[in-house]
Structure 1
């Protein structure tokens, strides 16, 4: 290990400890991130020993890992399989579909589009309202929501009324500010920028270790996923000027692209399935890199 690598890893360790102190991890959530970033695009199977080793680097004990994995199995997110003395865990089909959909949001280029009103009907109105809220809709009444036309029609639980984008962007901004809690999302993005901004210079230092690159990338994805998937992701015309989500997106893309060569090499060197090591890259991981690269242009 060179002096440059020692310096980079020491500085990275300091920043990692600071991020973990400010936003502590929960075992199940971080394991979901490992599967989403590393395992799902490489087939969906991982040895529990790898999960234990990675989680130990961020202060999550083996006991907490095993407990969290058991709960994910009970929830139908993972299924276990044994090969000799080793246990491997595979994503369920439904979890794999959810992870793939989340990846399209995290790595894909943000899409602009029209808006729609939805009149929710049926026996589970409140549950459907919560589903639409998680998809970025705002509640206007007991059964009416409004939001970007993002979900496929078959996934919308109610009558859909399409709406054109208003020409008066100032009025649209005022409307969005009234019905969405934009200040809380802005603060979350600003915290993300404060935590991960110092890493921009660090990843430019030649020789950062592969293990450190993966840990930083996992924390990056974990924090950005937490913020971005909760954000209603409104069209740019509805957002305040200098919206911090734009800078957060640029930072996420920059760091992910810079960290990935070393991080993926570490994955290929250490992550195992019953049939052998995980590959450094697959068509699915390549698509993620291409989408981030295209979005950064």
Structure 2
């Protein structure tokens, strides 16, 4: 099924990989609705973005091999749910996307000469010297047994922005700007959007915003570069997500199935998610 004009505009020059987009589908749609999805529904929604059935099946197989998904057959149908190893990571991502985001005003110093750099990057920490890592105090301690100190500024507060150099803020700036350029026009096209386009547009919104916000260290306000676009991007994400959700949730109930039948349009978890976005 070809993309509609609206979806074609939103996906212009956007690279979508099947595995990454499936992760978005599970995080935004499936997790708050029982965590189980029929493979046929996954194939159908990916087809709306020209992701073929073969690519979906290959991506799901790889996600299973990577302990991200678990499969189960019921009769002739295959269903997939999140693997236990993926649930905590999904919960962390959901807090960044949907929960109120209070910027830290303290810092963590981690003294660990053996901390793998890929682990540090996933925790959005930055290396300031050999064996010394820094991150905003986001209330989630890094997974290490090394000493961790909590610090707060006592002087030079007007120069806190100099700490931003330890992260690639230029790349984040560009990604936020690209997200704003892609989705800002959508705000003027919401009055006549179809439920199907609302669902696909919301998934694309989550997919693009998630790819940026999971890299954002969440620096304190005083440490952010001037004209930081992340704040506007968060505001646009919340505005569009709330505006799209009534139609999108209706489409979920109409086209997507779990092991117990059609997915619910809303659940306690989806209602709580929307409430958090309004605060």
Instruction: Give 1:40 shift.
Output: 0.7
Question: 32, 44, 53: which is aligned to 2:23?
Answer: 32
Distance 1:233 1:15, change over 3 A: farther
Instruction: Give 1:15 shift.
Output: 4.2
Instruction: Give 1:126 shift.
Output: 4.5
2:244 counterpart of 1:281: no
Task: Name the counterpart of 1:158.
Answer: 146
Give runs of ≥4 in structure 1 deviating > 4 Å: none
Instruction: Give 1:154 shift.
Output: 7.0
TM-score, normalized by length of structure 1? Answer: 0.88
2:171 counterpart of 1:184: yes
Task: Name the counterpart of 1:174.
Answer: 162
Question: 108, 111, 126: which is aligned to 1:119?
Answer: 111
Task: Name the counterpart of 1:238.
Answer: 223
Question: 35, 39, 42: which is aligned to 1:48?
Answer: 39
CA contact (8 A) 1:134 1:232 kept: no
Q: Distance in 1 between matches of 2:40 and 2:86?
A: 21
Measured against aligned partners, the alpha-carbon deviations of 1:73-99 in whole angstroms (never above 9, x if no partner) come to 111111111112111111111212211
Bigger helix fraction: 1
Measured against aligned partners, the alpha-carbon deviations of 1:129-175 in whole angstroms (never above 9, x if no partner) come to 33222222110122101111125347344211221135534310122
Q: Tell me, which stretches of 5 or more residues in structure 1 are unaligned?
A: 1-9
Question: 186, 189, 202: which is aligned to 2:189?
Answer: 202
SS, match of residue 89 in structure 1:
strand
SS, match of residue 22 in structure 1:
coil
Distance 1:153 1:28, change over 3 A: closer
Q: Tell me, which stretches of 5 or more residues in structure 2 are unaligned?
A: none
Aligned CA-pair RMSD? 1.8
